[in-house]
Amino acid sequence: MAEGFDIQKYMTEGVERVVSDALRATLSDPVESAWMLKFASASKKASGKRARAEKKGEHIPPFLIASITSSCNLHCAGCYSRCNHATTDDAPVSQLTSEEWKNIFVEADLLGVSFILLAGGEPLLRRDVIEEAGKIRNILFPIFTNGIFLQGSYLDLLQKNRNLVPVLSIEGDKEVTDSRRGKGVYDKLITAMDELYSRHLIFGVSVTVTKENIREVTSPDFINSLHEKGCKLVLFVEFVPVTEESSDLAPGDAERDLLKEFIDHARRAYADMVFVSFPGDEKSSGGCIAAGRGFFHINSHGGAEPCPFSPYSDVNVRDTSLREAMRSKLFAALTEGDYLKDDHQGGCVLYEKRAEVERLLNG
Protein backbone atom coordinates (compact mmCIF):
# COMPACT_ATOMS: atom_id res chain seq x y z
CA MET A 1 0.00 0.00 0.00
CA ALA A 2 1.19 3.51 -0.77
CA GLU A 3 2.65 5.37 2.20
CA GLY A 4 -0.04 7.39 3.95
CA PHE A 5 -2.87 6.00 1.81
CA ASP A 6 -6.24 7.25 3.10
CA ILE A 7 -8.95 4.66 2.39
CA GLN A 8 -11.75 6.93 3.68
CA LYS A 9 -10.70 9.75 1.35
CA TYR A 10 -10.30 7.35 -1.57
CA MET A 11 -13.75 5.78 -1.11
CA THR A 12 -15.47 9.14 -0.49
CA GLU A 13 -14.01 10.57 -3.69
CA GLY A 14 -15.11 7.43 -5.54
CA VAL A 15 -18.68 7.75 -4.28
CA GLU A 16 -18.76 11.46 -5.12
CA ARG A 17 -17.57 10.77 -8.66
CA VAL A 18 -20.20 8.05 -9.23
CA VAL A 19 -22.95 10.34 -7.89
CA SER A 20 -21.70 13.26 -9.99
CA ASP A 21 -21.59 11.08 -13.10
CA ALA A 22 -25.10 9.76 -12.37
CA LEU A 23 -26.43 13.29 -12.05
CA ARG A 24 -24.88 14.22 -15.38
CA ALA A 25 -26.27 11.04 -16.95
CA THR A 26 -29.86 11.90 -15.96
CA LEU A 27 -29.95 15.59 -16.87
CA SER A 28 -32.19 14.97 -19.88
CA ASP A 29 -34.90 13.34 -17.73
CA PRO A 30 -36.53 15.71 -15.21
CA VAL A 31 -37.93 12.93 -13.00
CA GLU A 32 -34.69 10.97 -12.76
CA SER A 33 -32.64 14.14 -12.39
CA ALA A 34 -34.84 15.38 -9.53
CA TRP A 35 -34.49 12.05 -7.74
CA MET A 36 -30.70 12.00 -8.29
CA LEU A 37 -30.42 15.48 -6.79
CA LYS A 38 -32.17 14.21 -3.65
CA PHE A 39 -29.90 11.17 -3.57
CA ALA A 40 -26.82 13.38 -4.01
CA SER A 41 -27.86 15.30 -0.91
CA ALA A 42 -28.46 12.06 1.02
CA SER A 43 -25.13 10.67 -0.17
CA LYS A 44 -23.31 13.78 1.07
CA LYS A 45 -24.91 13.38 4.50
CA ALA A 46 -23.95 9.68 4.52
CA SER A 47 -20.38 10.63 3.68
CA GLY A 48 -20.40 12.97 6.67
CA LYS A 49 -21.55 10.13 8.93
CA ARG A 50 -18.71 7.92 7.68
CA ALA A 51 -16.17 10.71 8.16
CA ARG A 52 -17.30 11.31 11.75
CA ALA A 53 -17.10 7.59 12.47
CA GLU A 54 -13.60 7.49 10.96
CA LYS A 55 -12.43 10.21 13.35
CA LYS A 56 -13.59 8.00 16.20
CA GLY A 57 -11.60 5.07 14.83
CA GLU A 58 -14.50 3.28 13.15
CA HIS A 59 -14.41 2.65 9.40
CA ILE A 60 -17.81 2.36 7.67
CA PRO A 61 -17.71 1.19 4.04
CA PRO A 62 -19.90 3.12 1.60
CA PHE A 63 -20.97 -0.06 -0.22
CA LEU A 64 -22.55 -3.38 0.72
CA ILE A 65 -23.26 -6.36 -1.52
CA ALA A 66 -26.32 -8.38 -0.51
CA SER A 67 -27.09 -11.74 -2.10
CA ILE A 68 -30.73 -11.94 -1.16
CA THR A 69 -31.49 -15.39 -2.56
CA SER A 70 -29.78 -18.68 -3.38
CA SER A 71 -32.25 -19.38 -6.19
CA CYS A 72 -31.85 -18.64 -9.89
CA ASN A 73 -33.87 -19.46 -12.99
CA LEU A 74 -30.78 -19.73 -15.23
CA HIS A 75 -27.68 -21.92 -15.38
CA CYS A 76 -25.06 -19.59 -16.83
CA ALA A 77 -21.77 -21.17 -17.86
CA GLY A 78 -19.03 -20.47 -15.33
CA CYS A 79 -21.33 -18.86 -12.75
CA TYR A 80 -19.16 -18.17 -9.68
CA SER A 81 -22.18 -18.38 -7.37
CA ARG A 82 -23.04 -21.92 -8.49
CA CYS A 83 -19.38 -22.94 -8.39
CA ASN A 84 -19.27 -21.75 -4.77
CA HIS A 85 -22.61 -23.51 -4.08
CA ALA A 86 -24.10 -20.17 -3.00
CA THR A 87 -26.72 -20.66 -5.73
CA THR A 88 -28.41 -24.04 -6.02
CA ASP A 89 -31.52 -25.65 -7.46
CA ASP A 90 -32.60 -26.87 -4.03
CA ALA A 91 -35.44 -25.09 -2.27
CA PRO A 92 -33.99 -22.24 -0.16
CA VAL A 93 -33.46 -23.14 3.48
CA SER A 94 -33.08 -20.70 6.35
CA GLN A 95 -32.65 -17.64 4.16
CA LEU A 96 -33.00 -14.19 5.69
CA THR A 97 -36.60 -13.02 5.77
CA SER A 98 -37.74 -9.74 4.23
CA GLU A 99 -38.05 -8.35 7.76
CA GLU A 100 -34.44 -9.27 8.53
CA TRP A 101 -33.24 -7.67 5.29
CA LYS A 102 -35.30 -4.57 6.09
CA ASN A 103 -33.51 -4.26 9.44
CA ILE A 104 -30.14 -4.55 7.67
CA PHE A 105 -31.10 -1.84 5.19
CA VAL A 106 -32.34 0.48 7.96
CA GLU A 107 -29.15 0.07 10.00
CA ALA A 108 -27.01 0.56 6.89
CA ASP A 109 -28.79 3.86 6.29
CA LEU A 110 -28.16 4.96 9.87
CA LEU A 111 -24.47 4.06 9.60
CA GLY A 112 -23.93 6.00 6.37
CA VAL A 113 -23.89 3.31 3.69
CA SER A 114 -24.78 4.86 0.32
CA PHE A 115 -25.08 1.87 -2.02
CA ILE A 116 -26.32 -1.68 -1.49
CA LEU A 117 -25.86 -3.94 -4.52
CA LEU A 118 -28.59 -6.59 -4.59
CA ALA A 119 -27.48 -9.89 -6.08
CA GLY A 120 -28.26 -13.59 -5.87
CA GLY A 121 -28.97 -16.03 -7.45
CA GLU A 122 -31.56 -13.96 -9.24
CA PRO A 123 -32.62 -11.16 -6.85
CA LEU A 124 -35.92 -10.44 -8.61
CA LEU A 125 -37.11 -13.79 -7.26
CA ARG A 126 -37.30 -12.03 -3.86
CA ARG A 127 -39.86 -9.33 -4.57
CA ASP A 128 -40.58 -9.08 -0.86
CA VAL A 129 -37.00 -7.94 -0.23
CA ILE A 130 -36.95 -5.64 -3.27
CA GLU A 131 -40.07 -3.90 -1.94
CA GLU A 132 -38.39 -3.31 1.45
CA ALA A 133 -35.30 -1.89 -0.29
CA GLY A 134 -37.49 0.56 -2.20
CA LYS A 135 -38.61 2.11 1.08
CA ILE A 136 -35.05 3.12 2.07
CA ARG A 137 -34.83 6.26 -0.06
CA ASN A 138 -31.38 7.39 1.10
CA ILE A 139 -29.69 4.29 -0.35
CA LEU A 140 -29.30 3.46 -4.02
CA PHE A 141 -29.94 -0.23 -4.72
CA PRO A 142 -28.45 -1.47 -8.01
CA ILE A 143 -30.17 -4.81 -8.71
CA PHE A 144 -27.97 -7.27 -10.59
CA THR A 145 -30.45 -9.26 -12.63
CA ASN A 146 -30.59 -11.53 -15.66
CA GLY A 147 -33.55 -9.43 -16.82
CA ILE A 148 -36.04 -12.22 -17.40
CA PHE A 149 -38.55 -10.89 -14.85
CA LEU A 150 -38.37 -7.23 -15.84
CA GLN A 151 -41.92 -6.83 -17.05
CA GLY A 152 -45.39 -5.82 -15.94
CA SER A 153 -45.80 -5.15 -12.23
CA TYR A 154 -42.04 -5.19 -11.62
CA LEU A 155 -41.65 -2.24 -13.96
CA ASP A 156 -44.44 -0.49 -12.05
CA LEU A 157 -42.52 -1.07 -8.82
CA LEU A 158 -39.34 0.40 -10.30
CA GLN A 159 -41.26 3.41 -11.55
CA LYS A 160 -42.51 4.15 -8.04
CA ASN A 161 -39.12 3.56 -6.40
CA ARG A 162 -36.36 5.32 -8.32
CA ASN A 163 -33.71 4.16 -5.84
CA LEU A 164 -34.09 0.66 -7.34
CA VAL A 165 -31.88 0.53 -10.43
CA PRO A 166 -31.81 -2.66 -12.51
CA VAL A 167 -28.38 -3.68 -13.79
CA LEU A 168 -28.80 -6.29 -16.55
CA SER A 169 -26.14 -8.94 -17.09
CA ILE A 170 -24.97 -9.11 -20.70
CA GLU A 171 -21.87 -10.70 -22.22
CA GLY A 172 -21.61 -8.86 -25.52
CA ASP A 173 -23.60 -9.62 -28.68
CA LYS A 174 -26.44 -12.13 -29.04
CA GLU A 175 -24.22 -15.11 -29.84
CA VAL A 176 -21.88 -14.59 -26.90
CA THR A 177 -24.66 -13.79 -24.42
CA ASP A 178 -26.84 -16.75 -25.38
CA SER A 179 -23.87 -19.14 -25.41
CA ARG A 180 -23.23 -18.35 -21.75
CA ARG A 181 -26.71 -17.58 -20.44
CA GLY A 182 -29.00 -19.70 -22.59
CA LYS A 183 -30.83 -19.48 -25.90
CA GLY A 184 -33.20 -16.54 -26.15
CA VAL A 185 -31.82 -14.64 -23.15
CA TYR A 186 -30.31 -11.86 -25.28
CA ASP A 187 -33.64 -11.10 -26.96
CA LYS A 188 -35.34 -10.95 -23.55
CA LEU A 189 -32.65 -8.53 -22.35
CA ILE A 190 -33.25 -6.28 -25.34
CA THR A 191 -37.01 -6.39 -24.73
CA ALA A 192 -36.45 -5.45 -21.08
CA MET A 193 -34.18 -2.55 -22.09
CA ASP A 194 -36.81 -1.27 -24.51
CA GLU A 195 -39.48 -1.44 -21.81
CA LEU A 196 -37.26 0.40 -19.32
CA TYR A 197 -36.39 3.05 -21.88
CA SER A 198 -40.04 3.58 -22.86
CA ARG A 199 -40.88 4.26 -19.20
CA HIS A 200 -37.89 6.62 -18.75
CA LEU A 201 -36.41 4.32 -16.12
CA ILE A 202 -32.69 4.48 -15.51
CA PHE A 203 -30.88 1.16 -15.93
CA GLY A 204 -27.41 -0.23 -16.43
CA VAL A 205 -25.62 -3.35 -17.56
CA SER A 206 -23.02 -5.59 -15.98
CA VAL A 207 -20.41 -7.08 -18.30
CA THR A 208 -18.06 -9.86 -17.22
CA VAL A 209 -14.66 -9.04 -18.74
CA THR A 210 -12.32 -11.84 -19.79
CA LYS A 211 -9.21 -12.01 -21.91
CA GLU A 212 -11.40 -13.43 -24.67
CA ASN A 213 -14.11 -10.75 -24.84
CA ILE A 214 -12.40 -7.55 -23.72
CA ARG A 215 -11.93 -6.25 -27.27
CA GLU A 216 -15.60 -6.80 -28.10
CA VAL A 217 -17.12 -5.34 -24.93
CA THR A 218 -14.97 -2.21 -25.18
CA SER A 219 -15.73 -1.73 -28.87
CA PRO A 220 -17.60 1.36 -30.16
CA ASP A 221 -20.28 -0.88 -31.70
CA PHE A 222 -21.12 -2.54 -28.38
CA ILE A 223 -21.16 0.67 -26.34
CA ASN A 224 -23.10 2.53 -29.03
CA SER A 225 -25.76 -0.21 -29.05
CA LEU A 226 -26.19 0.18 -25.27
CA HIS A 227 -26.26 3.96 -25.54
CA GLU A 228 -29.03 3.82 -28.14
CA LYS A 229 -31.09 1.61 -25.81
CA GLY A 230 -30.88 4.25 -23.09
CA CYS A 231 -28.36 2.47 -20.85
CA LYS A 232 -26.89 4.85 -18.27
CA LEU A 233 -24.39 2.61 -16.45
CA VAL A 234 -21.84 0.11 -17.72
CA LEU A 235 -20.18 -1.90 -14.95
CA PHE A 236 -17.24 -3.95 -16.12
CA VAL A 237 -16.67 -6.86 -13.71
CA GLU A 238 -13.32 -8.55 -14.12
CA PHE A 239 -13.71 -12.31 -14.44
CA VAL A 240 -12.69 -14.09 -11.25
CA PRO A 241 -11.68 -17.73 -11.74
CA VAL A 242 -13.34 -20.08 -9.27
CA THR A 243 -11.76 -23.14 -10.86
CA GLU A 244 -8.16 -23.68 -11.89
CA GLU A 245 -9.30 -24.54 -15.42
CA SER A 246 -10.70 -21.05 -15.96
CA SER A 247 -7.77 -19.09 -14.52
CA ASP A 248 -6.42 -18.23 -17.99
CA LEU A 249 -9.56 -16.16 -18.67
CA ALA A 250 -8.85 -13.67 -15.87
CA PRO A 251 -7.69 -10.26 -17.11
CA GLY A 252 -4.04 -9.50 -16.47
CA ASP A 253 -2.21 -6.18 -16.27
CA ALA A 254 -2.36 -5.64 -20.04
CA GLU A 255 -6.13 -6.15 -20.17
CA ARG A 256 -6.63 -4.03 -17.05
CA ASP A 257 -4.61 -1.20 -18.60
CA LEU A 258 -6.66 -1.49 -21.79
CA LEU A 259 -9.89 -1.34 -19.79
CA LYS A 260 -8.74 1.68 -17.80
CA GLU A 261 -7.76 3.48 -21.00
CA PHE A 262 -11.13 2.69 -22.55
CA ILE A 263 -13.08 3.88 -19.50
CA ASP A 264 -11.13 7.15 -19.43
CA HIS A 265 -12.06 7.66 -23.09
CA ALA A 266 -15.69 6.58 -22.64
CA ARG A 267 -16.27 9.00 -19.77
CA ARG A 268 -15.33 11.83 -22.11
CA ALA A 269 -17.17 10.48 -25.16
CA TYR A 270 -20.45 9.52 -23.45
CA ALA A 271 -21.36 12.33 -21.07
CA ASP A 272 -24.74 10.77 -20.28
CA MET A 273 -23.37 7.40 -19.14
CA VAL A 274 -21.49 6.13 -16.09
CA PHE A 275 -18.57 3.70 -16.51
CA VAL A 276 -17.16 1.72 -13.60
CA SER A 277 -14.78 -1.24 -13.37
CA PHE A 278 -14.69 -3.73 -10.52
CA PRO A 279 -12.43 -4.41 -8.79
CA GLY A 280 -10.53 -1.92 -10.97
CA ASP A 281 -7.01 -0.79 -10.35
CA GLU A 282 -6.27 -2.17 -6.89
CA LYS A 283 -2.86 -0.49 -6.89
CA SER A 284 -4.48 2.95 -6.92
CA SER A 285 -6.86 1.94 -4.12
CA GLY A 286 -4.11 0.65 -1.87
CA GLY A 287 -5.13 -2.96 -2.47
CA CYS A 288 -8.36 -4.94 -2.50
CA ILE A 289 -11.30 -3.03 -0.99
CA ALA A 290 -13.19 -6.11 0.25
CA ALA A 291 -13.58 -7.25 3.88
CA GLY A 292 -15.06 -3.90 4.90
CA ARG A 293 -12.39 -1.57 3.48
CA GLY A 294 -14.79 -0.43 0.76
CA PHE A 295 -17.50 -3.07 0.95
CA PHE A 296 -18.35 -6.53 2.22
CA HIS A 297 -20.85 -9.21 1.28
CA ILE A 298 -23.85 -10.60 3.13
CA ASN A 299 -24.98 -13.98 1.78
CA SER A 300 -28.57 -15.15 1.59
CA HIS A 301 -28.31 -16.86 4.98
CA GLY A 302 -26.86 -13.81 6.74
CA GLY A 303 -23.16 -14.70 6.74
CA ALA A 304 -20.90 -11.65 6.49
CA GLU A 305 -18.17 -12.46 3.96
CA PRO A 306 -15.19 -10.46 2.61
CA CYS A 307 -16.73 -10.52 -0.88
CA PRO A 308 -18.87 -12.82 -3.07
CA PHE A 309 -15.70 -14.39 -4.49
CA SER A 310 -14.38 -15.17 -1.00
CA PRO A 311 -17.30 -17.00 0.66
CA TYR A 312 -15.90 -17.30 4.19
CA SER A 313 -17.63 -16.01 7.29
CA ASP A 314 -17.14 -16.00 11.04
CA VAL A 315 -20.20 -13.91 11.92
CA ASN A 316 -23.88 -13.86 10.96
CA VAL A 317 -26.03 -10.73 10.92
CA ARG A 318 -28.86 -12.77 12.45
CA ASP A 319 -26.81 -12.98 15.63
CA THR A 320 -25.44 -9.47 15.78
CA SER A 321 -25.81 -5.95 14.44
CA LEU A 322 -24.48 -4.85 11.07
CA ARG A 323 -22.00 -2.62 12.87
CA GLU A 324 -20.63 -5.56 14.85
CA ALA A 325 -20.47 -7.70 11.72
CA MET A 326 -18.18 -5.09 10.17
CA ARG A 327 -15.80 -5.70 13.08
CA SER A 328 -15.53 -9.44 12.50
CA LYS A 329 -12.24 -11.07 13.48
CA LEU A 330 -11.81 -12.38 9.95
CA PHE A 331 -12.25 -8.91 8.41
CA ALA A 332 -9.84 -7.43 10.95
CA ALA A 333 -7.20 -10.07 10.23
CA LEU A 334 -7.50 -9.48 6.48
CA THR A 335 -7.41 -5.68 6.66
CA GLU A 336 -4.70 -5.38 9.29
CA GLY A 337 -2.44 -7.93 7.64
CA ASP A 338 -0.97 -7.80 4.16
CA TYR A 339 -3.55 -10.12 2.60
CA LEU A 340 -5.48 -7.44 0.72
CA LYS A 341 -2.43 -5.47 -0.38
CA ASP A 342 -0.24 -8.16 -1.91
CA ASP A 343 0.40 -8.35 -5.63
CA HIS A 344 -1.53 -11.07 -7.46
CA GLN A 345 -2.00 -12.43 -10.95
CA GLY A 346 -5.42 -10.89 -11.59
CA GLY A 347 -9.04 -11.38 -10.70
CA CYS A 348 -9.34 -11.72 -6.93
CA VAL A 349 -6.47 -11.62 -4.44
CA LEU A 350 -8.60 -13.40 -1.83
CA TYR A 351 -9.35 -16.20 -4.28
CA GLU A 352 -5.63 -16.68 -4.84
CA LYS A 353 -5.10 -16.63 -1.06
CA ARG A 354 -8.11 -18.81 -0.22
CA ALA A 355 -5.99 -21.33 1.69
CA GLU A 356 -4.70 -18.54 3.92
CA VAL A 357 -8.23 -17.14 4.38
CA GLU A 358 -9.40 -20.61 5.44
CA ARG A 359 -6.48 -20.82 7.86
CA LEU A 360 -7.44 -17.45 9.38
CA LEU A 361 -11.05 -18.56 9.65
CA ASN A 362 -10.18 -21.81 11.40
CA GLY A 363 -7.18 -20.55 13.35
Q: Is 350 a member of any domain?
A: yes
Distance CA 205, CA 145 (A): 9
Q: For 5-14, 80-89, 130-139, 224-233, which range has the lowest pLDDT when averaged over its residues?
A: 5-14
pLDDT score of 346: 54
pLDDT score of 113: 97
Q: What is the value of pTM for the model shown?
A: 0.92
Host domain of residue 50: 7-362
Burial class (CB in 10 A: 0-12, 13-18, 19+), 293: buried
Q: Is 87 a member of any domain?
A: yes
% of the chain residues with pLDDT over 90: 58
**Alpha-carbon distance values, 183 to 24, 103, 177, 180, 208 (Å):** 36, 39, 9, 9, 18
Q: Is 278 a member of any domain?
A: yes
Q: Which helix (H) or strand (E) covers residue 274, if one does?
A: strand 274-278
pLDDT score of 282: 61
User: How many domains does the chain fold into?
Assistant: 1
Altogether, the residues listed in the chain come to a count of: 363
Q: For 28-42, 46-60, 80-94, which range has the lowest pLDDT when averaged over its residues?
A: 80-94
Q: Is 2 a member of any domain?
A: no
Q: What is the DSSP string of 202-259?
A: --EEEEEE-TTTHHHHTSHHHHHHHHHTT--EEEEEE---SSGGGGGGS--HHHHHHH
pLDDT score of 281: 56
Q: Is 324 a member of any domain?
A: yes
pLDDT score of 309: 83
Distance CA 177, CA 80 (A): 16
212 pLDDT above the threshold of 90: no
Q: Is 1 a member of any domain?
A: no
pLDDT digits 0-9 by tens, 237-277: 888 776 666 677 888 888 988 999 999 999 899 988 999 88
pLDDT digits 0-9 by tens, 274-293: 998 887 656 566 678 888 98
168 pLDDT above the threshold of 70: yes
Q: Is 259 a member of any domain?
A: yes
pLDDT score of 1: 39
CATH code of the domain containing 352 = 3.20.20.70
